[in-house]
Structure 1
């Protein structure tokens, strides 16, 4: 190779190396990324769980006793006040009978006293007139007046006994009514846990039925502390399954909590302990979701 050819080859190699270095630098420099505000229409996102306003209703017995009959099954729709089950009410019925007999007895005693009132009043008046005319002593007049006053006091005491006995009747009837376990609200039975022959206890507060009440469906979302000040009552949001599949359902923010706490909707204990979330409650316009179903909430800008 000649000297000129060697110099030319050296210059060509140097140029190739410089071009390769510039190209490598160009590829190493990342392109500017789109900002989050420009890439998504959502102001914030949160995990949530579907619930009913006020929660599911636990129905327990108001009296101890043995279950005599059950009137409903899972899935039954009912109105407030409908009978769900009956306890054995024989003792309660006896109590009502005894209380009503006490009222009748007290009223009969009052009637006897009142029957003596008119003759005693007439006699006291006659004795008083006779004493005024000198035909009777003043002492006999005083005795007649005292006897009349005692009789009136006995009548008042008897009437008080009638009232007291009537209150016992009311209490006995209330106890009898408590043997009927009734629906506290309109809704649908979602769980029946009691059977004929079961012994129920007020102290144990065992759940006999679980009722899904006819109240608005809501979502309890866990709002991360980074978004708490951005979400306000009245804002619109979309709710979808936690898999982000299915048709979105519109919701409206009802309230944002005041207390931070750990996440309840994650199965990761580390994430649960490290999260600082506030409960955000939203009302669903219409709900294809079931109570307890986990969802994803997307808050609109």
Structure 2
């Protein structure tokens, strides 16, 4: 056999071997897909908030007198006070002088009232006597034992006695009026003396003090003190428009502030009825427990729980929407099947499944646009927590409401 012929045979044999090797290769394995087992757990739906610490209600304390110098200051910022505690004292020297003068006027007015009362009593006695005399004189006149002139004189005396009694009564009324004025003046001075002690109108914590010894505050001017009523603090916060629609007064909020080791549980007190025109954020107030000690203005963030669901839960990534229905891909016997499910509470992490999937069923973790109904796959079991806290999928930030 020639050399060329031998090469041809050798090449043919190599082709047969390669063809056999190709036929001997196994078919391609199904794609590896991560699957999770549906679990029973709890899903908490929360709305995130950001804000700052503010006073729940601030009570301003001002001077109720004009031109009185501050003599002493007894309260400082941060002090806890009770209603009625003296915060500062004004110089009452001039009022004490007025008080002494008012006391003298009051005593003189009381004496004048007593004298006027005696005058009325004397006038009444005199009038009664003249009336009695006039009756006897009239009888004598009828018997022609008393002249007409004498009778007329007694009638004139009666009219004078009536006038004297009226005058005495007017004098008594005037004396009583003077006494009332003196009493009112004494009460005014006593009231102003009370105002020289500037007292806390409510219990709470002193948030601000402008009072200083020697200053002369004006009535109705800048507050000398500001008190956080009952020491209650609140969070003035903002939430997204989507989350705002789920909130109701009375819901529980978990709040954290910078530097605080633990979360503080508060209660949603107020939802403002208007969203920010630019930010589209809703504003709210969360009341913190009494005794909470945080600096005013501190940054705060937290969550407000709006719903809780128990039962079968799946990762949110396993869900798809098809034809308006929620579906998942369940894995069984080497292949996936599209299954329609009914869902409950949904968060960024978990979904509560009300029907369609049972605990223990294997579900494709992420299936969007990758697999179709009936595809064969190689499963990779993937664990996940059954009860993480679900957060609203939104990035919130403080917004200026200008």
Local SS of the residue matching 1:296:
strand
Partner of 2:396: none
RMSD of Structure 2 on Structure 1 (CA): 3.5
Map residues 182-261 of structure 1 onto 2, 5 A cutoff: 182-202=199-219, 205-241=221-257, 246-261=261-276
How far apart, CA to CA, are the structure 2 residues paired with 1:257 and 1:139? 83
Per-residue CA deviation, residues 238-273 of structure 1 (Å, 9 max, x unaligned), is: 111268x732222222232212236xxxxxxxxxx5
Query: How far off is 1:143 after superposition?
Result: 0.9
TM-score (norm 1): 0.75
Q: How many residues align?
A: 269
Query: How far off is 1:159 after superposition?
Result: 0.9
How far apart, CA to CA, are the structure 1 residues paired with 2:204 and 2:219? 24
Structure index of larger Rg: 2
Per-residue CA deviation, residues 49-69 of structure 1 (Å, 9 max, x unaligned), is: 2234313x3322222221112
Local SS of the residue matching 2:52:
strand
Partner of 2:52: 49
Partner of 1:13: none
How far apart, CA to CA, are the structure 1 residues paired with 2:186 and 2:78? 37
Query: How far off is 1:48 after superposition?
Result: 2.3
User: 2:235–2:286: 8 Å Cα contact kept in structure 1?
Assistant: yes
Q: Compare the two structures and name the one with the higher strand fraction.
A: 2
Aligned match for 1:140, one of 129, 144, 157: 157
Query: How far off is 1:162 after superposition?
Result: 1.0
Distance 1:258 1:217, change over 3 A: same
How far apart, CA to CA, are the structure 2 residues paired with 1:127 and 1:285? 80
User: 1:47–1:295: 8 Å Cα contact kept in structure 2?
Assistant: yes
Distance 1:146 1:104, change over 3 A: same
Aligned match for 1:165, one of 164, 171, 182: 182
Structure 2: where are the runs of 5+ without partners? 1-7, 19-27, 36-40, 138-149, 308-402
Query: How far off is 1:215 after superposition?
Result: 4.2
Structure 1: where are the runs of 5+ without partners? 10-18, 20-25, 33-37, 263-272
How far apart, CA to CA, are the structure 2 residues paired with 1:168 and 1:286? 44
Partner of 1:103: 106
Distance 1:259 1:281, change over 3 A: farther
How far apart, CA to CA, are the structure 2 residues paired with 1:284 and 1:219? 11
User: 2:232–2:292: 8 Å Cα contact kept in structure 1?
Assistant: no
TM-score (norm 2): 0.58
Q: Which moved more, 1:187-196 or 1:122-131?
A: 187-196
Q: Which moved more, 1:177-186 or 1:92-101?
A: 92-101
Distance 1:139 1:116, change over 3 A: same
Q: Compare the two structures and name the one with the higher helix fraction.
A: 1
